[in-house]
Amino acid sequence: MPRTKGDHEARRRDVSEAVWQVMATRGFAGLTLRAVAAELDATTGLLTHYFPSKRALVEYALDLLEQRTIARPRRHGGAGLAALRDALLDILPLTAEATDSNRIWVSSWDAALSDPTLSTDYARKYAQSRDRLTERVAAAQELGELPPGDPADIAVGAQAFVLGLVVQTLFDPAAFPPQRQVGLLDDYLSTLTARTDPTTITRHDPDGRP
């Protein structure tokens, strides 16, 4: 029976799923043709048809990570501060799927940091992500839900907070169940709303002038 286009597409989906599973359990360091073949219950020979080299496999895996990150469902719960909270909740490992995805992102940092092209690409991606958070911070400020202050600095802080919480949760999921992650994020957001604008603090002149 001749192979149809449908067979080909189905096979590609299977390969993608196998690559994803290997990354989620063994990380990029464990991503080999042999491991993907074992996950697929196929021969490494078949895999070389898709990935002629280790580099091709890694590039495919990085593309897959980006595509799945773009395609993931997102919260759309409100405007202003609620929208900022949604964007940060979307990053946290609150579900099994989000945990796999975060684990793969963290795993990819080693490869990305050792490759100048990838490193530049990651820097750009994180800067874009901060820009999107900056827009939401500015919107929350316009609504009066956040006090004044450089929205870009607040966005950097928020991104730092969630990235660090992701890392701590991946290593110690028992200590950071979803409810605790959300509680910690809400604590963080409440410190932002209580934040005093540093520019309004009276600076004391060392010579005693007002």
Q: Which residues in this chain contact a second copy in the complex, by CB under 8 A?
A: 25-30, 103, 106-107, 109-114, 119, 122-123, 126-127, 153, 156-157, 159-165, 167-168, 170-172, 175, 183-184, 187-188, 190-192, 194-196, 198
Least gap, CB of 34 to a second copy (angstroms): 15
Least gap, CB of 91 to a second copy (angstroms): 10
User: In this complex, which beta carbon is closest to a second copy, that of residue 56 or of residue 123?
Assistant: 123
Alpha-carbon distance of 151 to 133, in angstroms, equals: 9
User: In this complex, which beta carbon is closest to a second copy, that of residue 9 or of residue 97?
Assistant: 97
Least gap, CB of 174 to a second copy (angstroms): 8
Alpha-carbon distance of 1 to 8, in angstroms, equals: 14
User: In this complex, which beta carbon is closest to a second copy, that of residue 20 or of residue 122?
Assistant: 122
Least gap, CB of 203 to a second copy (angstroms): 13
**Inter-residue contact 93 to 166 (CB < 8 Å):** yes
Ramachandran sector of residue 179 (left: φ over 0; alpha: ψ -120 to 50; beta: rest): alpha
Tokens 């004391």, located at residue: 204
Give start and end residues of each alpha helix (H) in the chain. Answer: 5-26, 33-40, 44-50, 54-71, 80-91, 96-114, 116-142, 151-171, 178-193
User: In this complex, which beta carbon is closest to a second copy, that of residue 10 or of residue 38?
Assistant: 38
Least gap, CB of 76 to a second copy (angstroms): 24
Residue type, 51: F
User: In this complex, which beta carbon is closest to a second copy, that of residue 7 or of residue 187?
Assistant: 187
